[in-house]
A and B are shown apart, each in its own frame.
Chain A
Amino acid sequence: AQSVTQLDSHVSVSEGTPVLLRCNYSSSYSPSLFWYVQHPNKGLQLLLKYTSAATLVKGINGFEAEFKKSETSFHLTKPSAHMSDAAEYFCVVSGLLGGSQGNLIFGKGTKLSVKP
């Protein structure tokens, strides 16, 4: 069975400082992994995805994540936080690799606050 654990429910950083949102996954096979962002009153937006190609994945808005199989981690980072990055972030693992259902399993989310 697949599962994903987001280690921090809330992360607070100052504008211009690095962002690290932690995610660990459990999967019986090589999974597809995603990070989604949810701004208030808006739909979930895909930031980036890992699908067994390069282990360092670059996404939108300057975010990137590194797949580390030995640590079963897929942490999300950004070198310099912007006020507009304040949102809820979800780490997601696919339920079936390439399966027709496309089932996604969500972590509990990490709320990112950015202080001026």
Chain B
Amino acid sequence: GAVVSQHPSRVICKSGTSVKIECRSLDFQATTMFWYRQFPKKSLMLMATSNEGSKATYEQGVEKDKFLINHASLTLSTLTVTSAHPEDSSFYICSAAGLADLAKNIQYFGAGTRLSVL
């Protein structure tokens, strides 16, 4: 099946620094990638949707200047948490889908990134 690789799996950073998380589709072309945030004991909340070569579409309440998303190729999307603060500590998960997958509402998920901001 389709494989999505997310890196790093865990990152600890100081408050005020920026952190970049990568999401790669290893064996398929991902025309669309999604970024989710998962709080403890809560469901995944969609942050933004990105289509290759286009600007990301952010969900209501998500600061686009805080969470920069780049989807420059069909196999790579990045999420940069800028000037991270402790409240940004969370579990971030990406998913990817090709055109045919989207038509069937199928997404393939990465393993997630645990961000801890000190």
Interface residues of A (CB under 8 A from B): 9, 32, 34, 36, 41-46, 49, 51, 90, 94, 98, 100-104, 106-109
Contacts and interface: CB of A to CB of B under 8 A. Distances in A.
A45 B111 CA distance: 10
Interface in B40-59: 41-46, 49
Given A43-B108, A102-B107, A106-B45, 4 more contacts: A51-B104, A101-B49, A104-B107, A108-B41
Contact of B43 (A41, A45, A46, A109): A109
Contact of A103 (B41, B49, B109, B111): B49
Interface string B77-118: 000000000000000010101000111111111111000000
Contacts of A49: 104-106
Contact of A102 (B6, B32, B45, B110): B32
Interface of B: 4, 6, 9, 32, 34, 41-46, 49, 93, 95, 97, 101-112
A108 to B, nearest CB: 4
- Which residue of A9, A36, A102 has the most chain B CB atoms within 10 A of its CB atom? A102
Contacts of A32: 104-105
A43 B112 contact: yes
A102 B105 contact: yes
Contacts of B46: 103-104
